[in-house]
Chain A
Amino acid sequence: MTPPLGKDLLALEPLSADQIQLILDTAEPFKEISERHIKKVPTLRGATIVNLFFEASTRTRISFEFAEKRLSADTVNVASTGSSVSKGETLVDTARNLEAMRIDMVVIRHGASGAPAFLANRIESNVINAGDGTHEHPTQGLLDLLTLRDHYKKLKGLKVCIVGDVLHSRVARSNIWGLQKMGAEVAVCGPRSLLPSAIDDFGVRVFNRIDEAIQWADALNVLRLQLERMQLGYIPSLREYNRVFGVSRERLERAKREVLILHPGPMNRGVEIDSDVADGPFSVILDQVTNGVAIRMAVLYLLSGGKPELAEKAKGEA
């Protein structure tokens, strides 16, 4: 039997292939709920979920909010910018306050790697990592896996290349661990200054040119290039980046077969990805968004297992 997921979902790296499979399989029936007229099931009725976003994010937060509301949970959004050092309240105090308010689940996005783990070790509530620093973004990794599986009907042996600033990308890391666990072959393509120096130790192929990556891959996961990288001396210019690494229609057409295009969003059109690719026939970017809600519902469902306190609350409505 697949071991239970535990209290929290903090990362994909520690999960087994079975556990990842469980989440992907559980997401399937949840897709259907979003197609219904009444997009709601009573599963998490009485549960309180806090979306604790220390970094601004519209799409991830909304996706989680839909997932929570469609499961009938009560949600509260807390947006807070800045690290605990610049703000008044430390993460420890935030954790204690949440505990005191008897929150059932916390969805946290934070600029510091390890912040969700920090929180999870200190409170009883379920903690879901919605992206921490450059560490992981597990639900994004999962929805990318689901999207690939929908299209190719399998993950084992699939060739996926992650393109762009892998060094600073939590989405890249979650994808690398998730894909490897499920038996896919992973490659990266980007300027060496934006790849982690230890990448070779992880069994990941490195392509220096995007054309080589396109020839090899079944799918490309194109990462957003943050514009600040230029200022910090990692790459010379956006123009050069686009010329050398940009995913364009011409390049894709030179591939021997169709290459699926994924992007975690938001996109810098014309930088890492051209518009006609993002909007083109090989793009599954919008499917990723749809799958995102289903994956997040599945994760919330799976983590919220068996807590008598929830039963008490629900009985109150009998």
Chain B
Amino acid sequence: MADEIVELNEGTDGLVIVGIQRRGVQLAQRIVKLIVEREKVTVPQGALDITLYRDDLQTVGPRPVVGPTEIPVDIDGKHVVIVDDVLYTGRTVRAALDELADFGRPRRIALAVVIDRGGRELPIAPDVVGKKMDVTPGQRVDVFVEDLDGKDAVVLASRSG
């Protein structure tokens, strides 16, 4: 995925990798590390918490916990790559796009996800995909990362469980 991102950008210039809280942040860190190893360049990295931009805030019950947002560089004119674990309805990405717009005007925004499970409710398309999976609404896909969950894994399970 790291290679594809660099290829998409035709290099590392102006690249900013932004992970969506929570697991997107760990994944973004991995990608940045891989880019350092392979291209010998450190690209800027940020974290985005989209809770306050969710479109379902008004109807969801108790307030979800808001995590930290950190965009360390000015994103005007840059190529921002949003990184997340699972792409499903597309609403999280829409919220992320809205939030990024409040930080500046990137030249381009791309989307990289580990798992694309289909089931889009908005016209959102990923640019870089780890794996496409067919998942029915009755099932859920979870991505686990070492730093948070103690293991690296992708798990498919039924919702009722």
Question: Do any CB atoms of chain A lie under 8 A from CB atoms of chain B in the complex?
Answer: yes
> Which residues of A are at the interface with B, using a C-beta cutoff of 8 A?
4, 25-26, 28-30, 32-33, 36-38, 40-43, 46, 71, 301-302, 304-308, 310-311, 313-314
**B-side contacts of A4, CB under 8 Å:** 62
Give 6 nearest A-B pairs by CB, closest first. Answer: A310-B58, A311-B58, A41-B52, A38-B102, A306-B61, A43-B52
Cβ-defined contact, A30 with B66, below 8 A? yes
Cβ-defined contact, B67 with A29, below 8 A? yes
Output the least CB separation between A157 and chain B (Å).
Answer: 26
Q: Does B160 contact A (CB under 8 A)?
A: no
Cβ-defined contact, B49 with A37, below 8 A? no
Q: Does B136 contact A (CB under 8 A)?
A: no
B66 partner, pick from A301, A310, A313, A314, beta carbons under 8 A: A301
Cβ-defined contact, B66 with A307, below 8 A? no
Cβ-defined contact, B68 with A29, below 8 A? yes
In the bound complex, what is the Cα–Cα distance between A302 and B60 (angstroms)? 12
**B-side contacts of A306, CB under 8 Å:** 58-62
Listed by A's residue number, 28 A-B pairs whose Cβ atoms lie within 8 Å are A4-B62, A25-B65, A26-B63, A26-B66, A28-B68, A29-B49, A30-B66, A32-B69, A32-B70, A33-B69, A37-B102, A37-B103, A37-B104, A38-B102, A41-B52, A41-B102, A43-B53, A301-B52, A301-B66, A304-B63, A305-B60, A306-B60, A306-B62, A307-B58, A308-B59, A310-B58, A311-B56, A311-B58
Beyond known contacts A306-B61, A306-B62: 18 more, CB 8 A cutoff: A25-B65, A26-B63, A29-B68, A29-B69, A30-B66, A32-B69, A32-B70, A33-B69, A38-B102, A38-B103, A41-B52, A41-B53, A41-B99, A42-B98, A302-B63, A305-B63, A306-B60, A308-B59
Cβ-defined contact, A26 with B58, below 8 A? no
**A-side contacts of B55, CB under 8 Å:** 314
Output the least CB separation between A316 and chain B (Å).
Answer: 12
Q: Does B157 contact A (CB under 8 A)?
A: no
Cβ-defined contact, A305 with B103, below 8 A? no
Query: Chain B, 48-84, contact with A by CB distance < 8 Å: what is the 0/1 string?
Result: 0100110111111111011111100000000000000
**B-side contacts of A301, CB under 8 Å:** 52, 63, 66
Cβ-defined contact, A305 with B65, below 8 A? no
Q: Which residue of B lies closest to A308 (CB)?
A: B59
**B-side contacts of A40, CB under 8 Å:** 102
Output the least CB separation between B58 and chain A (Å).
Answer: 4
**B-side contacts of A310, CB under 8 Å:** 58-59
Output the least CB separation between B94 and chain A (Å).
Answer: 12
In the bound complex, what is the Cα–Cα distance between A30 and B20 (angstroms)? 17
Output the least CB separation between A264 and chain B (Å).
Answer: 26
**A-side contacts of B69, CB under 8 Å:** 29, 32-33
In the bound complex, what is the Cα–Cα distance between A41 and B52 (angstroms)? 6
Output the least CB separation between A103 and chain B (Å).
Answer: 16
**A-side contacts of B70, CB under 8 Å:** 32
In the bound complex, what is the Cα–Cα distance between A41 and B57 (angstroms)? 12
**B-side contacts of A71, CB under 8 Å:** 52
Output the least CB separation between B73 and chain A (Å).
Answer: 13
In the bound complex, what is the Cα–Cα distance between A306 and B49 (angstroms)? 19
B65 partner, pick from A26, A38, A43, A314, beta carbons under 8 A: A26
Q: Which residue of A lies closest to B68 (CB)?
A: A29
Q: Which residue of A lies closest to B59 (CB)?
A: A311
**A-side contacts of B57, CB under 8 Å:** 43
Cβ-defined contact, A314 with B58, below 8 A? yes
In the bound complex, what is the Cα–Cα distance between A198 and B98 (angstroms)? 53
In the bound complex, what is the Cα–Cα distance between A189 and B130 (angstroms)? 64
